[in-house]
Amino acid sequence: MLENDINKIINQRKERIEKTINLGKADRVPFCTILGINAFQAKYAGYTTADLSNDPSKFGLSKIKLVKDFDIDMPFGTPGQNNTIAITLGDDYQDLIPSIVVLTGGMHRILQDKFTKWPGQELDQNSVPQFVGKEFLEFDEYDEFIANPKKFINQKIIPRAYRSLENTASGTAYGALIKWGKELMIFNSAMQMTRTELRALGFPQIITVNANNPYDFIADFVRDFNQAILDFHRNPEKIEAAAEAMLPYIMKFIEKATSLPPEIMAKFDIQTPLVIYPLHLNSFLNRKFYNKYYWPMMKKLITADIKSGRVPLILFEGDHTPHLETLLDIPDGKIIAHFERPNWSKVAEVLKGRQCVMGGIPASLMVTGTPQDVEEKVREMIELFDGGKGFILSFSHYSLPGDTKVENMRAVVNSLNKYS
């Protein structure tokens, strides 16, 4: 393809994305996927999920194939998240941000973290990597953590969370860190090649960073998910103070990850950075916990993003319907809200014309449905949002099952072109 043609296609997609985020109706509803290591992508490219987990170039190649064949305007997702170590290390070595936050099967093998399980290691070759979490901070240690979270994470949590770093003053630990660095370089260069290739195929590149609500950071990487929920019931002031203590580190990480030097910025087609927040506790928390603790914290992050010209892409896990109205606190047209399994008519009722909404296709439909079912679903969603105004089509979950039918994937794209 000629350079001019490529730029034309890139600009067309870029406009499509930007117009939709600004609540307008684009030439077509954008198609976005947020997929980590998923079985469909692996199978479709002729690999196992273990291949994708262990070999960054296979992860990149399978992603290119998926994006190209199914015309995905916004393909996001990394294999896994290594936030525990990234957040404090990034505070000391800011030039390592954001690359250190990724976790792959290869890195898991080296660092031996206890919070994830991977295909080809603890799980079957064709399973998907999964987050398990663990209690790395006992209730009695909260005060020590709150007084100095960075010190506590470095000295207590890291040795507890990574088997290879159990004794930091050891050859095992030093060696693991060197190997981890090498693996990070391999991953980053594979991703750079993937980006270059995708750009050459006409897919615009967007600056993204993954970040957490501090409450999710505490629940997932520090305290254990179940324990964190019990803390909300028993001692909310402790988890609140811990989350407050983490907030500056998370904000700094986001700021640094999105303030790139001009020569790097020039490589991206869309200059507005997207901050991707995968929420975890949101749908678990009752109205009181959500409104008093979780949402105000989320609002602080969103406000900082808006002020710095970033767009938060918030992934509301589970059924977020009961908390939808809180989103009206945010100025219109400033975020992208992805929903997993909400009451969609309620979402449209509350958010249509207020915020850009993303989602719509249950990943399970890709397995159980026919192409006609998929087409009907796409049509229904586009209609719900007045022909696709401020609406981005995406899957409900971050993983597409291996049993996903190829003809259903084709039906998604064909219906998008047909109905929007």
Partner 1 sequence: MSSKERLTQAIINLDEQMVTDTINKMIASNVELTDIIEACRDGMTVIGELFEKGDYFLSEMVMASELLTDIISRLKKKAERSYISPLGTVVIGTVKGDIHYIGKDIVVNVLEANGYQVIDLGVDVSPEKFVEAIITNKPEVVGLSGLITEAIGPMKKTVDAIKAAGLRDKVKIIIGGGIVNEVISSYVGADKWANNVSTGLKEINAWAGEKNVRE
Residue closer to partner 1, measured from CB, 158 or 285: 285
Q: Based on the shown chain and the rule CB under 8 A, indicate whether residue 251 belongs to the binding site for partner 1.
A: no
Q: What is the closest distance, in whole angstroms, from the C-beta atom of residue 162 to partner 1 in the complex? A: 19
Among 369, 382, 388, 415, binds partner 1 (CB under 8 A): 369
- Alpha-carbon span 265 to 187, nearest angstrom: 20
Q: Based on the shown chain and the rule CB under 8 A, indicate whether residue 371 belongs to the binding site for partner 1.
A: no
- Across the strands, what pairs with 311? 274
Q: Based on the shown chain and the rule CB under 8 A, indicate whether residue 364 belongs to the binding site for partner 1.
A: yes
Residue closer to partner 1, measured from CB, 371 or 401: 401
Cis peptide, bond prior to residue 98, ω within 30 of zero: yes
* 408, 363 contact by CB (below 8 A): no
Q: Based on the shown chain and the rule CB under 8 A, indicate whether residue 81 belongs to the binding site for partner 1.
A: no
- Alpha-carbon span 185 to 38, nearest angstrom: 23
Residue closer to partner 1, measured from CB, 20 or 121: 121
Q: Residue 332 burial (CB < 10 Å; 0-12/13-18/19+)?
A: middle
Q: Based on the shown chain and the rule CB under 8 A, indicate whether residue 236 belongs to the binding site for partner 1.
A: no
Report the SS3 class of residue 140: helix
Among 31, 59, 221, 232, binds partner 1 (CB under 8 A): 232
Among 341, 352, 405, 410, binds partner 1 (CB under 8 A): 341
Q: Which stretch binds partner 1 (CB under 8 A): 22-30, 140-148, 254-262, 361-369?
A: 361-369
Residue closer to partner 1, measured from CB, 129 or 204: 129
Q: DSSP string covering 24-64, please?
A: ---SS--BEEE-SS-HHHHHHTT--HHHHHH-HHHHHHHHH
Q: Which stretch binds partner 1 (CB under 8 A): 85-93, 214-222, 262-270, 364-372?
A: 364-372
- Alpha-carbon span 74 to 83, nearest angstrom: 23
Q: What is the closest distance, in whole angstroms, from the C-beta atom of residue 294 to partner 1 in the complex? A: 10
Among 12, 68, 193, 322, binds partner 1 (CB under 8 A): 322
Give the number of residues written for the chain: 420
- Alpha-carbon span 203 to 199, nearest angstrom: 5
Q: Based on the shown chain and the rule CB under 8 A, indicate whether residue 180 belongs to the binding site for partner 1.
A: no
- Alpha-carbon span 322 to 320, nearest angstrom: 6
* 174, 206 contact by CB (below 8 A): no
Q: Based on the shown chain and the rule CB under 8 A, indicate whether residue 142 belongs to the binding site for partner 1.
A: no
Q: What is the closest distance, in whole angstroms, from the C-beta atom of residue 398 to partner 1 in the complex? A: 9
Q: Based on the shown chain and the rule CB under 8 A, indicate whether residue 114 belongs to the binding site for partner 1.
A: no
Q: What is the closest distance, in whole angstroms, from the C-beta atom of residue 12 to partner 1 in the complex? A: 31
Among 21, 39, 110, 111, binds partner 1 (CB under 8 A): 39
- Alpha-carbon span 259 to 265, nearest angstrom: 9
Q: Based on the shown chain and the rule CB under 8 A, indicate whether residue 233 belongs to the binding site for partner 1.
A: yes
* 44, 66 contact by CB (below 8 A): yes
Q: Which stretch binds partner 1 (CB under 8 A): 151-159, 262-270, 286-294, 346-354?
A: 286-294
* 72, 413 contact by CB (below 8 A): no
Q: Based on the shown chain and the rule CB under 8 A, indicate whether residue 405 belongs to the binding site for partner 1.
A: no
Q: Based on the shown chain and the rule CB under 8 A, indicate whether residue 155 belongs to the binding site for partner 1.
A: no
Return left, alpha or beta for 213; rule: phi > 0 is left, psi -120 to 50 is alpha, else beta: beta
Name the site residues for partner 1 (rule: CB under 8 A): 39, 117, 123-124, 126-128, 130, 132, 225-226, 229-230, 232-234, 283-287, 289, 318, 322, 341, 362-365, 367-369, 397, 399-403
